[in-house]
Amino acid sequence: MDNIISGIHQPNFMPWLGYFYKIYQSDIFIFLDDVQFPKTGSSTYVNRVSINISGESRYITVPIKRASGTWAINETQFSDEKWKKKAISTLQGNYAKAKYFKEHRDLIFELIEFQADDIATYNINFIKTISKELGLKSRFVNSSEFEIKSSSTQRLIDLLKAVGATTYLSGSGGDNYQDHQMYKDANIKVIYNKMPPFEYPQVKSESFVGGLSIVDAIFNIGIDSLKKELFV
């Protein structure tokens, strides 16, 4: 039987390089779009991401409508559209002098301007488009397609079985909450996403600032370099 590797992750907003490296390592990538929108704190990586502002990591945050009770990521709506203009202005102001800004700004700005009724659809469009530009071959599916009602580790196992995966590509922090015996009982192997060290020159930075949105790498070294140096 073929080994089919699947990664599972919430559809994050303009994610960092490690997110795309997880996609790169996956045969099938499942967007966990129908789980509860995290309510701890003011924001999560579903609606915020870090960029480089004058050599420091700073957040771009997407304002969302908040209601009482709970709601799923694919039910989460933007509170307004004004943030898009502000995000574009922020990127313009901080990356205009980056080497590949002019080459890739239309792509990134068009993705920011994308219209969607919910944040899951919006984020997934960004992720799929950038993955295609990077030449990533993973097949994408949404967890909402399967209407699986289980929770925690059992939910992940049920999703993996639904797509025929034999190996689960977990995030590096997965050991903190996963029941490994459950995967073993389900005949599913667990491996971990570990992106190799990867640094590159950054505009306005004397030393490398990590953990930033992939747009930082795209503007600084370009999509072709990313494909040759990281996604090979």
Counting other chains too, the contacts that 140-144 makes at CB distance below 8 Å and 24 or more residues apart are 140/28, 140/29, 140/30, 140/31, 141/28, 141/29, 141/30, 141/31, 142/30, 142/31, 142/33, 142/34, 142/74, 143/8, 143/30, 143/31, 143/32, 143/33, 143/34, 143/35, 144/33, 144/34, 144/72, 144/74
pLDDT in tens, 47-74: 999 999 989 999 999 999 987 778 999 9
Q: For the whole model, what pTM was predicted?
A: 0.95
168-185 burial: b if 16+ Cβ within 10 Å, else e: bbbbeebeeebeeeebee
Whether the CB-CB separation of 52 and 59 falls below 8 Å is answered with no
Q: According to the model, what pLDDT value does residue 176 have? A: 57
The list of the chain residues with pLDDT below 70 reads 1, 40-43, 173-178
